[in-house]
A and B are shown apart, each in its own frame.
Chain A
């Protein structure tokens, strides 16, 4: 079926980092596999080795503390996010976007970190993470570096990740706990589909942030906006951020129009 590769399942982080350093770009990380195995099947990527990180025992899962905020590990799936009581209560934005990602079968496998590492401009999870001002810890044999999610994406399917690096966790600051959120995703069908455009809006106290997907080479997010701003003020800021394309799924004009419609609705709905 698939093109031939070798499968490696490291037991812990050190082993994983040794392997990916040694294989120097000839390997791909396998988490949920819902993007990776499709890309391999389609011949887009041809890794010699596939390294499964689900067998790594010492990765973080889901934890929350006032000091560190919310931590999400690399094997956490959309399903885990949707079912988690603490996240439902404190970070509804994550649940809203996780629920809209793919189908039930995909959500049972696809990981949050895999979704952002794939760096598709239409990735659903990117939007809530951008609005929640998340960061990621990137680990390699050389050590750990922390990158804001806003700086993580560098282009279509491109991120700041170098060879030998892997995302260890997502960190969402505790100040964003209990932020109100809304999410709208335009699809061709009601069932599972990629977004034509998607808009996420998060409000916490005086701060509001809006993120837009499928409307620029990467998902984009606004700077902090006063949460009492009216629609024309917010739209004037968002308009400058987005630069959608015409493609097989819909036109540029339609995308801009629908971002505007969704933004207006979300401003009314998220109180």
Chain B
């Protein structure tokens, strides 16, 4: 089936198999491999992208369902090699360790901040409740979001024992 999708502001028109999901369409057909596959079953959120303003698990959306949609992925974040605000904050607060959850995590944070300029800690947790992180730890991610929104009270001291 021929589909038209706008990804990060760029139009793509491609012929795609009806059983291919959006995740594989992005990775294989469009060469956008920033979006990762974790579980492939909507549990881990590594494949999170923003579709028409809402976060979705791209493994649970067929590419043909995205016909006519506006998709945002991690590749749309940095412009001309300059990191976005969210990426900068993630870097600063060590909210990236292995990095596998990061593309999805950043998409969830992006969607949250669009809707809510000053999210409370509980609201941040709720927004990323569909994104599993198994090595960084959520604390740094939450702090990064609090920093972007000017809510981080003080730099926490690092105590070396």
Q: Please indicate whether A and B come from the same complex rather than being unrelated chains.
A: yes
Which A residues contact B (CB, under 8 angstroms)? 1-7, 9, 30, 33-34, 37-38, 41-42, 50, 52, 54, 79, 102-106, 108-109, 190-192
> What are the interface flags for B74-106 relative to A under an 8 Å C-beta threshold, 1 for contact and 0 otherwise?
000000000000000000000000000000000
Flag if A4 contacts B60 (CB, 8 Å).
no
Taking a contact as CB atoms closer than 8 A, the residue among B20, B64, B130 that contacts A1 in the complex is B20
Flag if A52 contacts B65 (CB, 8 Å).
yes
Which B residues contact A (CB, under 8 angstroms)? 1, 17-21, 23-24, 40-43, 45, 48, 54-57, 59-62, 64-65, 108, 111, 125-132
Flag if A4 contacts B17 (CB, 8 Å).
yes
Total cross-chain contacts (CB, 8 A): 89
Q: Give A106 to B48 CA distance when docked, in angstroms.
A: 10
- Shortest distance in angstroms between B67's beta carbon and chain A's nearest beta carbon? 9
Flag if A103 contacts B129 (CB, 8 Å).
yes
In this complex, what residue of B is CB-closest to A40?
B19
The interface centre, meaning the residue of A4, A6, A33, A103 with most chain B CB atoms within 10 A of its CB, is A103
- 17 A-B pairs in the complex with CB atoms less than 8 angstroms apart: A7-B1, A7-B19, A30-B65, A34-B42, A34-B60, A37-B42, A37-B60, A37-B62, A41-B40, A50-B18, A52-B64, A52-B65, A103-B45, A105-B57, A106-B130, A190-B129, A192-B129
- Whether A104 touches B60, Cβ cut-off 8 Å, given contacts A2-B19, A54-B65, is no
Extra pairs beyond A34-B42, A103-B45 (7, CB < 8 Å): A3-B19, A30-B62, A30-B65, A41-B41, A102-B130, A105-B57, A191-B129
Flag if A106 contacts B57 (CB, 8 Å).
yes
Q: Give A38 to B61 CA distance when docked, in angstroms.
A: 10
Q: Which A residues are in CB contact (< 8 Å) with B131?
A: 103
Taking a contact as CB atoms closer than 8 A, the residue among A2, A54, A105 that contacts B56 in the complex is A105
Q: Give A1 to B65 CA distance when docked, in angstroms.
A: 16
Q: Which A residues are in CB contact (< 8 Å) with B18?
A: 5-7, 50
Q: Give A200 to B60 CA distance when docked, in angstroms.
A: 29
Q: Give A106 to B43 CA distance when docked, in angstroms.
A: 9
A-B CB proximity, top 5 nearest = A103-B130, A7-B18, A191-B129, A108-B54, A2-B19
Flag if B42 contacts A7 (CB, 8 Å).
no
Taking a contact as CB atoms closer than 8 A, the residue among B1, B19, B55 that contacts A104 in the complex is B55
